[in-house]
Chains A and B, each alone.
Chain A
Amino acid sequence: DVKVTQSSRYLVKRTGEKVFLECVQDMDHENMFWYRQDPGLGLRLIYFSYDVKMKEKGDIPEGYSVSREKKERFSLILESASTNQTSMYLCASSLGGHNTGELFFGEGSRLTVL
């Protein structure tokens, strides 16, 4: 079975702190994605990556950056956390190619910024 692992299920941070959210997949997938999910707004794409060292902005990249130094790992970075970044963050991966294929999600990371 494909496994997407998010390192932290729950985090509490203070405004202005730097926050790292880590995501690892074990199926050699090309594509990796970071979403945030908020009540009433659904899933919104923050960043995605089609290959190592490659990144593309999604719909809401402001205040976030990403890193993909290895194929299996995709990190989301909040340079200076703000209260409006309190949310559920979901990492996902898919095989890749022209048809992005079936999408697999991690368990999510619930971030609270105080």
Chain B
Amino acid sequence: KQEVTQIPAALSVPEGENLVLNCSFTDSAIYNLQWFRQDPGKGLTSLLLIQSSQREQTSGRLNASLDKSSGRSTLYIAASQPGDSATYLCAVDTGNQFYFGTGTSLTVIP
């Protein structure tokens, strides 16, 4: 069964810093990988979707990369802001199910 791991579980950085969140998965047979943001008490908001044939995707200050063969993805956030504080989750799509990591809780300190 696919297992998805996100390390670290929590991260605290000063405003303006660039940062990287990590996601690893055990089975490389995936169709795509998706990064989400979740604010407290809310649902998940889709940030970026990377198809299995792609290496990276960019949206504004966010850049996600995918190395399917090694089972890893990273989410790079440039010039972090207090409004980026949230939990970030990754999920892999195996074609009939999504498998989620437990997330990284990010705090950006003003």
> When chains A and B are docked, how far (Å) is the Cα of A58 from the Cα of B43?
19
**Chain A residues, CB < 8 A from B45:** 105
B: interface residue count bin: 20 to 34
Determine if B63 is an interface residue (Cβ-Cβ < 8 Å): no
Determine if B97 is an interface residue (Cβ-Cβ < 8 Å): yes
> When chains A and B are docked, how far (Å) is the Cα of A92 from the Cα of B98?
11
**Chain A residues, CB < 8 A from B46:** 102-105
Contact with A along B66-110 (1 / 0, CB 8 A): 000000000000000000000001010101111011110000000
B96 & A100 in contact (Cβ 8 Å cutoff): yes
- Tally the A-B contacts, defined by beta carbons under 8 Å: 55
A108 & B43 in contact (Cβ 8 Å cutoff): yes
| CB of B35 to closest CB in A, whole Å | 11
> When chains A and B are docked, how far (Å) is the Cα of A102 from the Cα of B36?
11
> When chains A and B are docked, how far (Å) is the Cα of A82 from the Cα of B44?
26
B34 & A107 in contact (Cβ 8 Å cutoff): no
**Chain B residues, CB < 8 A from A102:** 32, 34, 46, 49
